[in-house]
Amino acid sequence: MSTIVKDQPDVLLSAERGGILGYLAGNIRASGRNPTRVAIGFIGAWVMFALILWVFPRPEGLSANGMAVLAIVVWASLMWVSEALPVGITGISVPTLLILTHGIPWVEKKGKFVPPMGTVFSGFTKHVVWLCLFAFLVGAVMQLLKLDRRIALGMLDRIKASNVGRVIWGMFGVNIILAFLIPAANARAATLLPVVKGITNLLGDSPEENEAKKAIVIQSLVYGTMISGVFIMTAHLPNLIMVNIFSEGGYSIGYLDWALMQFPYLGMFVLTQWWVRYHFKTGGIEIAGGYKQIHQQHQELGRMSRGEWTLVVLFALIALLFMMGKGSPIYHLHSFQLGIIGLIGILLLFTPGLFPFKWNEVQNKTIWGTFLLLGGAITMTAAMSKSGLAAYLADLIHGAVVGLPWWGIVLALMAGTHLIRIGMLSNVASIAMLAPILYHMAPQVHLHPVSFTLLVSDTDTYAYLLPTQITAAVIAYGSETFSVTDYAKAGWVCILIAMAYGVLIMAPWYAYLGLPVWDPTAPWPF
């Protein structure tokens, strides 16, 4: 026993001292999580699941299936908030619970009732999921080639980033480029963290320079990644959830259509940069030797390798296929869904000899947990719609905003969304619950389902009050550059900017494209 304790001292000593609870707490702590938070979340999720399913009376108007789905939604929310289970495991567990609870009614086959496997796992067969997997694999290969670092340093070198303002604008340009290549804002934030840290390390420790570090990190790793993510369909997983909901309702949106609808959001960075510059007082702060260091690091990378050029050419080819599908303003080359093109891209990506990497190297860089999270989230949105839960919740919310003008309804729901998001980490999870409710609510308040859902859901992306609300912000917070108070003081104004931007800029833009939020009868323009 002494030999074993010597090999694994932390875990087994805690087991000896605290019994089974000490053993469990030690393992949770060793995994980098807070044992108390995990225990409360895990137990609380199962308690609420049981209470909703078997104890609480079913509200009038909500079906038994809807009640079961509500239990699963609450369970998943608590698991996601507390991180009691890995997000991907929670995602893949949603179909399991749908089967066990009959959240989706079982179907009769040959005189027997069997689980509706095709329905409960539909989130893992949607074309947007395979589109996402292609983007994940491209991102993994790009990181192995270090092409992401080349893009970041190349952009900063080109603009001669020598002061705080230039660095921030340069990193925003990098974010936009990487948005085409790396899905998920958290993946881009993790990719850019070493580059950003290298830049902030060039600054001194004066009060002014410490404030400048905060501005660079928050703008580059949080605001920049989230704002650029809304623009590109594959750059932000909530985009794919909404695209799937819209397509199920008969509103098909192509890759270019999405970019056309959402690109004005890029302008919001101008406003957040104005505020951050004013708040942290970064105007005129130079980075001593900054450009020289960036230029030197860029030169050390040497010329682009054949592998890097191969990836760029391959991605450009697939991107063209994305843009030349049905309804393309460029050229109608094919009628395949985006996910099919993504699968073709995966096939080409692993052509023997293109890249020198083993499969386990690629899979270690691929965020499989997020892939499972997306599939589970899409399954949950479908279950909410099919069970009637989304419609029931939409009825409840409708009563609170009835009689308000369209902009009042949008602002009220934006504000409500930000209040709910204070306790949630995952933007993907929150949109999985929010988007189907908004979509079903739109007809009741006489608003366009697509533009209304987009306006409210997009503001969820800009939940900037606490670092714990967005995974990219958690990554940025891990740099130990700013405090929670620093983040909140800058973030609450940016939340107001995002809400105002949605109503004053995006709503008129959607109307210009033929999707006025105040007209639910407007014909689909794409």
The pLDDT tens digits for 2-31 are 344 444 445 444 444 568 888 888 899 898
User: Is residue 19 domain-resident?
Assistant: no
* Residues facing residue 286 across a β-bridge: 163
Mean pLDDT taken over the chain = 87
Number of structural domains in the chain: 2
Question: Which pair of tokens denotes residue 147?
Answer: 């092409």
User: Is residue 315 domain-resident?
Assistant: yes
- The residue with greater pLDDT, 457 or 149, is 457
Please check whether residues 224 and 271 belong to one and the same domain.
yes
User: Is residue 270 domain-resident?
Assistant: yes
* CB of 35 closer than 8 Å to CB of 24: yes
Domain termination residue (choose one: 120, 142, 174): 120
Q: Can you give the three-state secondary structure of 117-142, one letter per residue? A: HHHHCHHHCCHHHHHHHHHHHHHHHH
Looking at residue 457, its pLDDT comes to: 94
- Amino acid code (one letter) for 221: L
Looking at residue 7, its pLDDT comes to: 45
Please check whether residues 77 and 158 belong to one and the same domain.
no
Domain termination residue (choose one: 93, 120, 147): 120
Please check whether residues 182 and 208 belong to one and the same domain.
yes
- Tell me the Cα Rg of the chain: 24
Please check whether residues 285 and 319 belong to one and the same domain.
yes
Distance from C-alpha of 515 to C-alpha of 462, rounded to nearest angstrom: 23
Looking at residue 298, its pLDDT comes to: 84
- The residue with greater pLDDT, 341 or 500, is 500
Distance from C-alpha of 19 to C-alpha of 315, rounded to nearest angstrom: 54
Please check whether residues 103 and 158 belong to one and the same domain.
no
- Burial of residue 2, with CB atoms counted within 10 A of its CB: 0-12 exposed, 13-18 middle, 19 or more buried: exposed
Distance from C-alpha of 373 to C-alpha of 393, rounded to nearest angstrom: 23
Question: Which pair of tokens denotes residue 54?
Answer: 């078997």
- Burial of residue 86, with CB atoms counted within 10 A of its CB: 0-12 exposed, 13-18 middle, 19 or more buried: middle
Please check whether residues 113 and 144 belong to one and the same domain.
no
User: Is residue 458 domain-resident?
Assistant: yes
Distance from C-alpha of 87 to C-alpha of 251, rounded to nearest angstrom: 29
Please check whether residues 171 and 234 belong to one and the same domain.
yes
Looking at residue 198, its pLDDT comes to: 77
Instruction: Supply the DSSP symbol for 59.
Output: P
Label residue 350 by pLDDT band (50, 70, 90).
very high
Q: 157-216: per-residue pLDDT in tens?
A: 888 877 888 889 988 998 998 888 777 787 788 778 878 887 887 788 888 889 999 999
User: Is 43 a residue whose pLDDT tops 60?
Assistant: yes
Four-CA torsion 230, 233, 238, 242, nearest 10 degrees: 110
Domain termination residue (choose one: 120, 152, 177): 120
Element (H, E) at 190: helix 185-200
User: Is residue 21 domain-resident?
Assistant: no
Please check whether residues 193 and 64 belong to one and the same domain.
no
Please check whether residues 116 and 134 belong to one and the same domain.
no
* CB of 84 closer than 8 Å to CB of 45: yes
Q: What is the pLDDT averaged over residues 401-409? A: 91
User: Is residue 52 domain-resident?
Assistant: yes
Instruction: Kindly list the distances between the CA atom of residue 67 and the CA atoms of 116, 251, 386, in Å, as whole numbers in the listed order.
Output: 18, 28, 12
Instruction: Kindly list the distances between the CA atom of residue 445 and the CA atoms of 123, 245, 517, in Å, as whole numbers in the listed order.
Output: 28, 19, 11
Instruction: Kindly list the distances between the CA atom of residue 101 and the CA atoms of 10, 67, 76, 311, in Å, as whole numbers in the listed order.
Output: 39, 10, 14, 45
Looking at residue 516, its pLDDT comes to: 97
Phi/psi at 21 (nearest 5 deg)?
A: -65, -40
Q: 110 — alpha (psi -120 to 50), left (phi > 0) or beta?
A: left
Please check whether residues 218 and 293 belong to one and the same domain.
yes
Q: 463-510: per-residue pLDDT in tens?
A: 998 887 887 887 888 778 888 889 999 999 999 999 999 999 999 999
Q: 258-307: per-residue pLDDT in tens?
A: 999 999 999 999 999 999 999 999 887 887 666 787 788 889 889 999 99
Q: Which range of residues forms the domain containing residue 460?
A: 127-512
Closest to 220 measured CA to CA, from 243, 196, 244, 238: 196
Please check whether residues 104 and 132 belong to one and the same domain.
no
User: Is residue 18 domain-resident?
Assistant: no
Contacts of 408 (CB under 8 A, 6+ apart): 401
Distance from C-alpha of 302 to C-alpha of 294, rounded to nearest angstrom: 13
The lowest-confidence range among 235-239, 389-393, 397-401, 513-517 is 397-401
Please check whether residues 107 and 178 belong to one and the same domain.
no
User: Is residue 4 domain-resident?
Assistant: no
